[in-house]
């Protein structure tokens, strides 16, 4: 189930990826020239990087090379990234279903 916080995070991430500064009322800062596919690719890449970082931190902690705080931070970051990807996915599916319900 998507929460309002997850949807807000996904929206903010998408705005940043599109080059829109949410602090300026949504006015464009500098268009990045990318499309929706680039936004999705960026979100997936970020989620994968966060996940790999969390796995690395866990392995380092098992070996005694990392603190538990670092592991917890990395896992929380990976979870946040995954929630963002899932929120974007849910919104895309919802938009697709809405389009399919439109009369021709």
Q: Is the pTM of this model over 0.85?
A: no
Give me the helices (H) in 1-104, please: 4-18, 36-62, 68-101
Q: Quick one: pLDDT at residue 61?
A: 94
Per-residue pLDDT of the chain (104 residues; tens, 9 = 90+): 566 666 667 667 766 766 665 555 544 444 555 687 887 888 888 899 999 999 999 999 999 999 999 999 999 999 998 998 888 889 989 999 999 999 88
Helices 4-18 and 68-101, packing angle to 10 deg: 90
61 in Cβ contact with 70 (< 8 Å): yes
The residues, any chain, with a CB within 8 Å of residue 60's CB and separated by 6 or more, are 66, 70, 71
pLDDT of residue 51: 93
Is residue 28 a contact partner of residue 19, using CB atoms and an 8 Å limit? yes
pLDDT of residue 11: 66
Q: What is the pLDDT of residue 33?
A: 58
Residues contacting residue 31 through CB under 8 Å, at least 6 positions apart: 18, 19
Please tell me the predicted confidence (pLDDT) of residue 12: 72
Q: What's the longest Cα–Cα distance across the chain?
A: 62
């Amino acid at each position: 189930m998507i929460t309002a916080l997850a949807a807000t995070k996904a929206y903010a991430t998408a705005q940043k990826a599109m080059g829109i500064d949410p602090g300026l009322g949504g006015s464009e800062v500098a268009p990045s020239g990318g499309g929706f596919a680039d936004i999705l690719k960026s979100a997936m890449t970020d989620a994968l990087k966060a996940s790999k970082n969390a796995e690395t931190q866990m392995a380092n902690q098992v070996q005694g090379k990392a603190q538990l705080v670092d592991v917890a931070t990395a896992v929380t970051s990976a979870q946040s990234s995954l929630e963002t990807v899932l929120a974007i996915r849910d919104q895309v599916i919802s938009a697709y279903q809405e389009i399919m319900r439109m009369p021709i």
